[in-house]
């Protein structure tokens, strides 16, 4: 490239080709449209020791690197624009700047180059991260770099990780006769590390025909012992998935357990209350982003009480304006609330548009933590905890507050409660509001894992009814047990028979169960039930 | 079911749209006096059969809007054959049998000269017998599974060989990561099942072993992807570069990508190539964790050509929303509508048979470069692009086919249809002609 450039420049003279070959250094390939040239430039830069190399590669990864038509490279971030080669700010931004495009191949190479540079960083933490990245990447070309890093590394933890990274990298090289012992040692070292990544590398070795027999056998033994561990962990992992799925079902169903279970109102608009809760979450996020950007990470926490109040308020309005005229007429209630659900859907569609809206997941709810051999995703964990808190809070309200006492009294014997001076219409309105508010809370939670669109509610309403009926109408513990049973059941069946069949199987099982036990798992007993 | 406009108000709506376009023509006179005269005479009715409510409203409402925009624009240019176009909008409400009912109404009551509509394959399958019985014309704008070739339907979206096959070629190539192991993940309905059947045969022909192909289906609207993503993760740990080919239907994609991000799978570990994720779907997602994930389409909003820039501007002006995105099916309607206008002009009539015959061979420039041509099997020639998701919710093109790819109605990768072709030009005039036995399998037009 460089010599070709030089020849052309000499031949045509600098006047005819002003600037086109003004830059012929390690950086110039970065602006190229050809992946091979970019890859070459990245690896050259990584070992060049150029003071600007780190900055330029970081800018490339963050897509702040721009190429000018004359081969100049600039780092542009907001208003500032600096020359990538010198690090000096430029007074006038050149014309025709185009962002340097990445693809996955270049992104992978870039991550490797950055990690290899970070291996010599002063902070042990940075070096550990770099070693992690190289372990995950196990690029055969990195062996010398790792050897060098190991020779100067003092920190024990980083050393261990570097050894593992070297082992992975050695195994990624093609097998040769004289490297047998080294490879055998690497297999042992990786077998001790464990995890899916190591399993992947070892499985590759175990299948390779080029490998010496004893290395291959060692790898096979390691893979089968790892598989046993992974299987054991996958049971625990599945149990967590089941709990987490159950907790979503529980959240969606608790509100319904109040309105349907306790009050006996079939509320088909329950799902739409969830949908409105999710939209409230979005509006709160937008409002906070505009007014107090510092609070953005906790916007979701602010949304919890707001969604409860908004949906609860709507619930009270719906009860006063619609439901109270229909008590004792279940079919009309069903039709009226279904109509209401369509009206709410279309209203939201008209106001916010038919497309999904993007509710942000704050950083502290993204990602996962590794516990032994399983990954616990943080948003699912948060929903699990949230569901437990909501259920606990609801129990407290029903058991320990005057409102809860009155609600239970009205449920058990409406006339007697009225004679004792309880204003039953007010209790009805508040109970319905409570149910709607709980749906709003479920909406906040669901906005973190699902689509937020006008159709959100429809995908939960059937499952919610199923949970409440399966658990036993009027019994919160039954709702909890049913949600967990359905969640666990679904997740146990899913890996074995697939998601579609699992869903069908669960429905069939629930139908069979309900046929034998029409009142669900935990029927409410007593005199008040029959009326 | 929700909101079926009664015929009267629908007509009124049509008149309203006409009045609006007439007003727009008035507006144009002041700025551009050189424009054609306002069309007069009996209006030509154009049916628009897209769901405006229900689950598919999220995707189809946009297509209704783009059709209204194209029709208004055509009226401003003087209509067709000197007559104004009148849009007739119906709402099949994401309800498949209702699609057939509304199609019948458009053809027999409204006498629509052409109908633009449908999104899901099941809705197309439900209207197909109606269009064949009443000899109507349907323009179907969405990428689909192929294996169909009706004389009454023009397939302006991609056939599998114009999307799925090139996408897999890219994943197999060095630039695409050189994948050796494939997880084919889809929603459980006809499009993913047929596409995956084609892909499995294609991958096997490319030397991928059975054990290296995983196929998994989920119900519509799946929101709990934990188990499947962890299965993909385990599948990817067999020492070979793994890629996911996703035929997951629009709505279920958001939780799928969220789960991928949460379980720490990035595009550099296991890239996901999606066939149903476009700009419109990304508008509802937090795209930061998705950067580098792939999609294959015949159009991207980010492709910088003068035609595309002016189309996007027209769309923003029409919707009065500078943030509205454009996408692949919108381009398909743009091409299909302009081809129909050309065909009607060429035939000099809106008579269905004459227009259908005139359609073959019509050429219309794509928005992204190249010229689309209507082939005898009622499919188009199209460029294929692979795009990578960027932080701003747009795609950046990382690869494109060197030349335009002609659409194949019947896949050569399915044993039963290997020898079939569709050819509605004379003398074959058959939708499923067996080139080996030289016979038409009963899909002939008299």
Q: Which residues contact B210 (CB under 8 A, 6 or more apart)?
A: B204
Distance separating alpha carbons of residues A112 and A139, to the nearest angstrom: 8
Is the residue at B424 inside a domain? no
Other C-beta atoms lying within 10 Å of the C-beta of residue B117? 28
Rounded Cα–Cα distance for residues A411 and A397 (Å) = 15
Nearest residue on chain A to B387, judged by CA atoms? A103
**Residue of B230, B259, B280 with shortest CB distance to A355:** B280
Same-domain status, B112 and B227: no
pLDDT for the residue numbered A107: 85
Return the number of other C-beta atoms located less than 10 Å from residue B78's C-beta: 17
Does residue A397 sit within a domain? Answer: yes
Same domain, B325 and B201: no
CA torsion through residues B303, B304, B310, B316, sign: positive
Whether B123 and B264 map to the same domain: the answer is no
Residue of A206, A346, A355 to mutate when probing chain B, most B C-beta within 10 A: A355
Instruction: Please check whether residues B149 and B184 belong to one and the same domain.
Output: no
CB A520, CB A482: distance < 8 Å:
yes
C-alpha distance from residue A509 to each of A112, A386, B57 (Å): 51, 28, 33
Q: According to the model, what pLDDT value does residue A435 have?
A: 94
Q: Are strands A368-371 and A98-99 parallel, antiparallel or unpaired?
A: unpaired
For chain A, the domain total comes to: 3
Chain A residues touching B304 at Cβ < 8 A: none
Residues of the domain holding B347: 7-158+305-382
Tell me B142's DSSP state: S
Please answer yes or no on whether A200 and B284 come within 8 Å at the CB atom. Answer: no
Tell me if A500 and B217 make a contact (CB, 8 A cut-off): yes
**Which among A72, A105, A138 is the end of a domain?**
A105
Lowest mean pLDDT among A471-475, B24-28, B270-274, B413-417: B24-28
Is residue B430 one of the residues assigned to a domain?
no
Question: 3-class DSSP state for residue B295?
Answer: strand
Cα separations in angstroms, A368 against A196, A248, A308, A328, B263 = 15, 18, 28, 49, 6
- Which strand (E) or helix (H) includes residue A273? helix A270-291
Examine residue B436 and state whether it is found in any structural domain, yes or no. Answer: no
pLDDT for A526:
52
Q: What is the pLDDT of residue B165?
A: 94
How far apart, in Å, are the Cα atoms of B146 and each of B103, B138, B245, B372, B411? 21, 16, 18, 18, 7
Q: Which residue has the tokens 């291996």?
A: A119
- Tell me whether residue A362 is in a domain: no
Q: What is the largest CA-CA distance in chain B?
A: 70
Q: What is the pLDDT along chain A (531 residues), one digit of tens a residue?
A: 444 444 444 444 444 444 444 466 778 788 777 778 888 888 888 877 777 888 888 888 888 888 888 878 888 877 788 888 888 888 777 777 888 888 888 888 888 888 888 888 888 888 888 888 888 877 777 888 888 888 888 888 888 888 888 888 888 877 776 778 888 888 888 888 877 788 888 888 888 777 888 888 888 888 888 888 888 888 899 999 999 999 999 999 999 988 887 778 889 999 999 999 999 999 999 999 999 999 888 999 999 999 999 999 999 999 999 998 988 888 999 999 999 999 999 899 889 887 788 888 888 988 888 887 788 899 899 999 999 999 999 999 999 999 999 988 888 888 888 999 999 899 999 999 999 999 999 999 999 988 888 888 988 998 899 999 898 877 889 999 999 999 999 999 988 888 889 999 999 999 999 999 888 888 766 544 444
**Pair A87, A138 in one domain:** no
Report yes or no on A375 lying in a domain.
yes
Q: Which domain holds residue A29?
A: 2-105
- C-beta atoms of B281 and A356 within 8 A: yes
Q: Is residue A477 part of a domain?
A: yes
Distance from chain centroid for Cα B146: 12
Contacts of A494 in chain B (CB under 8 A): 227-228
Both tokens assigned to B140 = 């179907």
From the number of C-beta atoms within 10 Å of its C-beta (0-12, 13-18, 19+), residue A399 rates as: exposed
Cβ–Cβ below 8 Å for A201 and B239: yes
For A335, the token pair is 């039709």
d(CA B396, CA B373): 26
Which of B51, B57, B260 has the most A C-beta neighbours within 10 Å, making it the best mutation to test the interface with A? Answer: B57
Q: At a CB cut-off of 8 Å and minimum separation 6, what does A446 contact?
A: A248, A251, A252, A274, A277, A278, A456, A460
Same domain (yes/no): B103, B241: no
Q: Give the separation between CA B91 and CA B51, rounded to whole angstroms.
A: 5
Interface of B with A in 88-127 (CB under 8 A): none
How far, CA to CA in Å, does B199 sit from each of A469, B116, B203, B377?
Answer: 43, 29, 6, 22
- Pairwise CB contact (< 8 Å): A203 & B176: no
Asked if B314 reaches chain A (Cβ–Cβ under 8 Å), the answer is no
Whether A337 is covered by a domain: the verdict is: yes
DSSP string, A472-523: -TT-HHHHHHHHHHHHHHHHHHHHHH-HHHHHHHHHHHHHHHHHH-TT-SS-
B contacts of A459 (beta carbons < 8 Å): 221, 223
Helix H or strand E encompassing B365: strand B363-365
Chain A positions touching B231 (Cβ under 8 A) are 495
Of A197, A346, A360, nearest to B3 by CB-CB distance is A346
Same domain, B91 and B69: yes
User: Which residues of chain A lie closer than 8 angstroms to B271, CB-CB?
Assistant: 104
CB contact under 8 A, A104 and B53: no
Which of A35, A248, A455 comes nearest B175 by C-beta?
A35
CB contact under 8 A, A499 and B227: yes
Q: What is the CA angle B338-B343-B347, rounded to 5?
A: 155
| Position B284 pLDDT exceeds 80 | no
The DSSP-derived string for B321-341 is: -TT----HHHHHHHHHHHHHH
CB contact at 8 A, A490 and A506: yes
Is the pLDDT assigned to residue B444 strictly greater than 60? no
Query: What pLDDT, on a 0 to 100 scale, did the predictor assign at position B385?
Result: 95
Chain B residues in contact with A101 (beta carbon < 8 A):
396, 398
Question: Do B299 and B263 sit in the same domain of this protein?
Answer: yes
Residue B314 backbone zone (phi > 0: left; psi -120 to 50: alpha; other: beta): alpha
Under DSSP, is residue B392 helix (H, G, I), strand (E, B) or coil? coil
pLDDT reported for residue A339: 94
Contact A458 B251 (CB under 8 A): no
| A89 and A136 both lie in a single domain | no
Token pair recorded at residue A85: 């080669």
Residue A217 lies in a domain: no
Give residues with Cβ within 8 angstroms of A424, minimum separation 6: A410, A414, A417, A418
Q: Please tell me the distance from the alpha carbon of residue A424 to that of residue B44, in angstroms, as a whole number.
A: 62
Cα separation of B443 and B357, whole Å? Answer: 16
* Per-residue pLDDT, B13: 45
A140-150 in b/e burial notation, b at 16+ Cβ within 10 A? Answer: eebbebbeebb
Look at residues A80, A105, A130 and tell me which one is the last residue of a structural domain: A105
Report residue A276: phi and psi, to 5°: -65, -35
- Beta strands at B385-389 and B294-297: parallel, antiparallel or unpaired: antiparallel
Do the chains contact at A199 and B174, CB–CB below 8 Å?
no
Average pLDDT over residues B330-346: 96
Paired strand residues for B365: B371
Same domain? For A132 and A254 the reply is no
- Domain assignment present for A530: no
ipTM for the complex? Answer: 0.81
Contact (CB<8Å) A368/B262 = yes
CB contact under 8 A, A455 and B388: no
- In terms of domains, do A188 and A302 share one? no
The CATH number covering residue B279 comes to 3.40.50.2300
Residues in chain B closer than 8 A to A202 (CB atoms): 239
User: Domain for residue B59, yes or no?
Assistant: yes
Is there a contact between A33 and A69 (Cβ–Cβ < 8 Å)?
Answer: no
Whether residues B292 and B282 share a domain: the answer is yes
Q: Counting every residue, how long is chain B? A: 446
Residue A6 lies inside a defined structural domain of this protein: yes
- Rounded mean pLDDT of chain B? 87
| B348 close contact with A: CB closer than 8 A | no
Render pLDDT for B362-412 as a digit per residue (tens, 0 to 9): 999 999 988 999 999 999 999 999 999 988 889 989 899 989 999 999 999
A319 in the same domain as A206: no
Q: Which residues in chain B are closer than 8 Å to A377, comparing Cβ atoms? A: 226, 259, 262-263
Residues B275, B199 within the same domain? yes
Classify the C-alpha dihedral A336-A339-A345-A347 as positive or negative: negative
pLDDT tens for B116-167 read 999 988 899 999 999 999 999 999 999 999 999 999 999 999 999 999 999 9
Query: Out of B58, B234, B259, whose CB is closest to A356?
Result: B58
Chain B residues whose CB is inside 8 A of the A111 CB are 268
Residue with tokens 């067996």: B434
Residues A378 and A440 reside in one and the same domain: yes
Nearest to B255 among A203, A358, A450 (CB): A450
| B268–A108 CB contact, under 8 Å | yes
How far is the C-alpha of B364 from the C-alpha of B333, rounded, in Å?
A: 12
Q: Please say if the pLDDT value at position B326 is more than 60.
A: yes
Does residue B445 form part of some domain? no
3-state secondary structure of A234: helix
pLDDT at A162: 87
Numbers of helices and strands, H then E, in chain B: 12, 19
B293 reaches A (C-beta below 8 A): no
B392 and B375 share one domain = no
Residue carrying structure tokens 């070629």: B169
Cβ of B284 and A355 within 8 Å? yes
Nearest-10 Cα torsion for A241, A242, A243, A246: 120
The count of structural domains within chain B is: 2
Q: Is the pLDDT of residue B22 over 50?
A: no
Q: Is B349 on the interface with A (CB under 8 A)?
A: no
- Residues A246 and A203 reside in one and the same domain: no
Longest dimension (CA), chain A: 108
Q: Give the count of Cβ contacts less than 8 A between chain A and B.
A: 159
Judge if A414 and A483 occupy the same domain.
yes
B284 with A450: Cβ contact below 8 A: no
The pLDDT, as a whole number, for residue B28 is 40
Q: Which residue of A has its CA nearest to B180?
A: A204
Q: Which residues, at least 6 apart from A152, have a Cβ–Cβ distance to it below 8 Å?
A: A120
Domain co-membership, A203 together with A66? no
Does the distance separating the beta carbons of B174 and A207 come in below 8 Å? no
Give CA–CA dist A222/A379, Å, rounded. Answer: 34
Please state, for a pLDDT cut of 90, what percent of chain B lies above it. Answer: 61
User: How much is the pLDDT for B391?
Assistant: 83
B376 in any annotated domain: yes
| Interchain proximity A449–B396, CB inside 8 Å | no
The partner residues of A80 in beta bridges, in order of sequence, read: A77
> For residues B113 and B125, what is the distance between their CA atoms, to the nearest angstrom?
20
Using a 10 angstrom Cβ sphere, with 0-12 exposed, 13-18 middle and 19 or more buried, the burial of residue B160 is: buried
Alpha-carbon dihedral sign for residues B339, B341, B347, B352: positive
Judged by CB atoms closer than 8 Å, whether chains meet at B286 and A380 is answered as no
Q: According to the model, what pLDDT value does residue A164 have?
A: 87
Contact between chains at A230 and B261 (C-beta distance less than 8 A):
no
SS3 of residue A317 by DSSP: helix
Strands B242-247 vs B181-187: parallel, antiparallel or unpaired? parallel
Query: Is B398–A103 a contact, with Cβ atoms under 8 angstroms apart?
Result: yes
Q: Which residues contact B378 (CB under 8 A, 6 or more apart)?
A: B149, B150, B151, B153, B154, B155, B359, B360, B409, B422, B424
| Interface mutation vs chain B, best among A222, A238, A275, A455, most B CBs within 10 Å | A455
Judgement on whether residues A458 and A342 belong to the same structural domain of the protein:
yes
- Inter-chain CB proximity A498 and B216 less than 8 Å: yes
B251: contact with A, CB 8 A cutoff: yes
């Amino acid at each position: 490239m460089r010599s070709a450039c030089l020849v052309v420049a000499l031949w045509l003279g600098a006047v005819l080709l002003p600037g086109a070959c003004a830059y012929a250094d390690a950086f110039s390939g970065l602006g190229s449209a050809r992946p091979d040239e970019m890859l070459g430039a990245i690896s050259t830069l990584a070992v060049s020791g150029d003071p600007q190399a780190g900055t330029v590669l970081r800018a490339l990864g963050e897509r702040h690197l721009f190429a000018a038509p004359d081969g100049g490279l600039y780092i542009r971030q907001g208003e500032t624009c600096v020359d990538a080669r010198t690090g000096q700010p430029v007074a006038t931004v050149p014309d025709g700047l185009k962002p340097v495009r990445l693809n996955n191949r270049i992104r992978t190479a870039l991550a490797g180059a950055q990690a290899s540079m970070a291996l010599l960083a002063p902070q042990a933490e940075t070096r550990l991260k770099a070693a992690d990245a190289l372990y995950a990447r196990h690029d055969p070309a990195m062996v010398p770099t790792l050897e060098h890093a190991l020779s100067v590394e003092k920190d024990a933890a980083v050393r261990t990780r570097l050894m593992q990274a070297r082992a992975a990298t050695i195994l990624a090289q093609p097998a040769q006769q004289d490297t047998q012992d080294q490879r055998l040692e690497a297999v042992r070292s990786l077998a001790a590390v464990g995890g899916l990544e190591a399993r992947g590398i070892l499985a590759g070795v175990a299948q390779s025909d080029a490998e010496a027999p004893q290395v291959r056998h060692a790898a096979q033994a390691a893979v089968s012992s790892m598989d046993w561990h992974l299987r054991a962990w996958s049971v625990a992992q599945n149990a967590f998935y089941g709990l987490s799925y159950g907790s979503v079902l529980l959240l969606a169903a608790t509100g319904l357990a109040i309105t349907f279970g306790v009050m006996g109102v079939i509320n088909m608009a329950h799902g739409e209350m969830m949908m409105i809760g999710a939209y409230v979450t979005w509006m709160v996020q937008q409002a906070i982003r505009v007014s107090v950007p510092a609070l953005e990470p906790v916007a979701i926490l602010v949304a919890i009480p707001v969604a409860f109040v908004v949906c609860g308020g709507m619930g009270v309005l719906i009860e006063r304006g619609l439901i109270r005229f229909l008590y004792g007429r279940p079919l009309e209630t069903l039709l009226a609330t279904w109509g209401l659900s369509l009206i709410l859907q279309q209203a939201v569609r008209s106001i916010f548009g038919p497309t999904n809206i993007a509710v942000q997941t704050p950083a502290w709810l993204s990602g996962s933590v590794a516990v032994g051999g399983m990954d616990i995703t943080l948003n699912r964990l948060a929903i699990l905890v949230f569901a437990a808190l909501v259920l606990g809070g609801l129990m407290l309200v029903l058991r320990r507050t005057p409102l809860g006492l009155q609600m239970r009294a009205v449920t058990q014997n409406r006339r007697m409660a009225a004679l004792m001076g309880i204003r039953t219409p007010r209790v009805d309105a508040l109970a319905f509001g409570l149910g709607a508010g709980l749906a709003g809370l479920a909406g906040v939670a669901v906005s973190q894992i699902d689509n937020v669109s006008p159709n959100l509610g429809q995908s939960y309403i059937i499952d919610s009814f199923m949970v409440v009926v399966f658990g036993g109408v009027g019994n919160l513990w039954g709702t909890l047990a049913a949600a967990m049973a359905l969640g666990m059941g679904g997740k146990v069946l899913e890996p074995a028979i697939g998601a579609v069949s699992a869903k069908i199987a669960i429905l069939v099982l629930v139908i069979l169960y309900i046929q034998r036990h029409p009142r669900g798992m935990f029927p409410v007993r007593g005199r008040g039930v029959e009326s | 079911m929700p909101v079926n406009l009664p015929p009267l108000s629908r007509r009124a709506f049509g008149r309203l749209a006409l009045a609006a376009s007439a007003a727009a023509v008035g507006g144009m006179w002041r700025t551009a006096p050189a424009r054609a005269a306002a069309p007069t005479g009996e209006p030509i009715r154009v049916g628009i059969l897209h769901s405006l409510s229900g689950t598919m409203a999220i995707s189809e409402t946009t297509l209704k809007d783009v059709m209204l925009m194209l029709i208004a624009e055509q009226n401003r240019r003087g209509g067709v054959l000197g007559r104004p176009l009148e849009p007739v909008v119906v709402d099949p409400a994401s309800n498949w049998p209702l699609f057939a009912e509304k199609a019948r109404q458009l053809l027999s009551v409204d006498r629509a000269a052409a109908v633009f509509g449908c999104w899901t394959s099941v809705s197309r399958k439900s209207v197909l017998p109606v269009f064949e019985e009443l000899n109507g014309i349907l323009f179907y704008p969405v990428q689909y599974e192929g294996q169909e070739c009706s004389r009454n339907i023009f397939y302006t979206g991609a056939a599998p060989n114009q999307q799925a096959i090139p996408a897999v070629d890219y994943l197999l190539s060095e630039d695409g990561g050189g994948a050796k192991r494939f997880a084919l993940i889809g929603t459980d309905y006809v499009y993913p099942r047929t596409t995956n059947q084609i892909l499995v045969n294609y991958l096997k022909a490319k030397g991928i072993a059975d054990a290296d192909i995983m196929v998994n289906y989920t119900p519509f609207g799946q929101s709990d992807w934990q188990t499947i993503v962890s299965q993909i993760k385990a599948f990817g740990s067999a020492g070979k570069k793994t890629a996911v080919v996703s035929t997951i239907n629009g709505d279920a994609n958001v939780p799928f990508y969220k789960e991928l991000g949460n379980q720490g799978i990035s595009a550099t570990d296991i890239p996901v190539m999606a066939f149903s994720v476009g700009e419109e779907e990304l508008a509802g997602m937090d795209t930061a964790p998705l950067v580098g994930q792939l999609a294959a389409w015949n159009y991207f909003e980010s492709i910088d050509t003068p035609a595309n820039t002016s189309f996007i501007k027209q769309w923003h002006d029409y919707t009065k929303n500078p943030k509205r995105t454009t996408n692949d099916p919108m381009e398909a309607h743009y091409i299909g509508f302009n081809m129909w206008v050309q065909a009607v002009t060429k035939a000099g009539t809106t008579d269905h048979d004459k227009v259908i015959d005139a359609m073959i061979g019509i050429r219309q420039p794509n928005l992204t470069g190249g010229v689309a041509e209507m082939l005898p099997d009622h499919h188009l020639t199209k460029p294929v692009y692979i795009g990578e998701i960027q932080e701003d919710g747009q795609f950046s093109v990382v690869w494109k086919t060197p030349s335009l790819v002609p659409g194949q109605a019947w896949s050569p990768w399915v044993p039963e249809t290997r020898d079939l072709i569709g050819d509605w030009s004379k003398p074959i005039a058959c939708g499923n002609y067996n080139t080996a036995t030289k016979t038409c399998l009963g899909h002939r037009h008299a």
